[in-house]
A and B are shown apart, each in its own frame.
Chain A
Amino acid sequence: MIPLSAYVAVSAVLFATGLLGVLIRRNFIIVLMSVEIMLNAATINLVAFSHYLDSMQGQIVALFIIAIAAGEAAIGLAIIIVVFRGKISTNVDEMNLLKW
């Protein structure tokens, strides 16, 4: 029997990896991929608790997370296309038009 804390530890490591990716990568598409890693880590956590506490709620929230990830990917990639069309680089540290 695998303890619950093993799943939680895997999820924490994945979440930290994704957070680090959001912070250190320059390419906007990779930043979005790192957000997907973080969402997956949260999903593992929810499903693990759902299994170990004999409850269905975690799996339902995990389904909602997957739906929200789909919406986020669509909107984020549309924004990338708009930014790229304006001949601005897709590196996040060079997109500074909204900075004051």
Chain B
Amino acid sequence: MAFVFFAYFAVVSIVAGILTVSLKHPVQCGLALLALLLHVSGLFIMLNAEFLWAVQVIVYAGAILVLYLFVLMLLNLKTDDRYFHAKTPYLLAPAAIGLLYLLFLLVRSPFSGAKGDASTAAILQNGDAHAIGIKMFSEYLLQFEIIGVFLTGAIVGAIVLAKAPKSIQTRRDV
């Protein structure tokens, strides 16, 4: 049963990713990206990461994607007929060969390592959010604060960039 769900989420997310890259109209690309994000969140559920599932749906599908669609509809871009780069045919064959080689290497590797202390049973005892919270606010507190400063800088930068430059113009006229 788990395999059926995994196959569904994996296949749909890959197909949605390819559609995001290859569809012509930007809004359709955004909707394909939405399908990709939701199915990737399904993969998180299969990996016992319920908190990340919620964050993926709320932050990615709910906030970031709406921001993309908002800007797309605000700008009302006209799509050119030639929406791929001029050098696309030269890129496709090396990309396919490189990907096949990478997959070959990945499927052969054993992927083992030192096991940590957060086994599935230990996480399920108090829930995923509890486990993440305990870890993040003890060992990763500095990184958490850095992310806070980063997000503050990002929002200030976005506001400064997107502000209408009219005030500069009027100041120059005076």
Contact = CB atoms under 8 A, between A and B. Distances in A.
B174 interface: no
A81 interface: yes
Interface in B26-80: 26, 29-30, 33, 36-37, 40, 43-44, 46-49, 51-52, 55-56, 59-60, 63-64, 67-68, 71-72, 74-75, 77, 79-80
A18 to B, nearest CB: 7
A63 B55 contact: yes
Given A2-B46, A80-B71, A70 B17 contact: no
A95 interface: no
Contact of B154 (A29, A48, A49, A75): A75
Interface residues of A, number: 71
Contacts of B173: none
A52 to B, nearest CB: 7
A21 B13 CA distance: 15
A24 B48 CA distance: 35
Given A12-B102, A13-B103, A53-B116, A60 B132 contact: yes
A53 B18 CA distance: 30
B85 A5 contact: no
Contacts of A73: 64, 67-68
A91 to B, nearest CB: 7
Interface of B: 2-3, 6, 10, 13-14, 17-18, 20-21, 26, 29-30, 33, 36-37, 40, 43-44, 46-49, 51-52, 55-56, 59-60, 63-64, 67-68, 71-72, 74-75, 77, 79-80, 82-88, 91-92, 95, 98-99, 102-103, 106-107, 109, 111, 113-120, 123, 128, 131-132, 135-136, 140, 143, 147, 150-151, 153-155, 157-159, 161-162, 165
Interface in A1-29: 1-2, 4-10, 12-14, 16-21, 23-27, 29
Interface of A: 1-2, 4-10, 12-14, 16-21, 23-27, 29-30, 32-34, 36-37, 40, 43-44, 47-57, 59-60, 62-64, 66-75, 77-82, 84-85, 90-93
A3 to B, nearest CB: 9
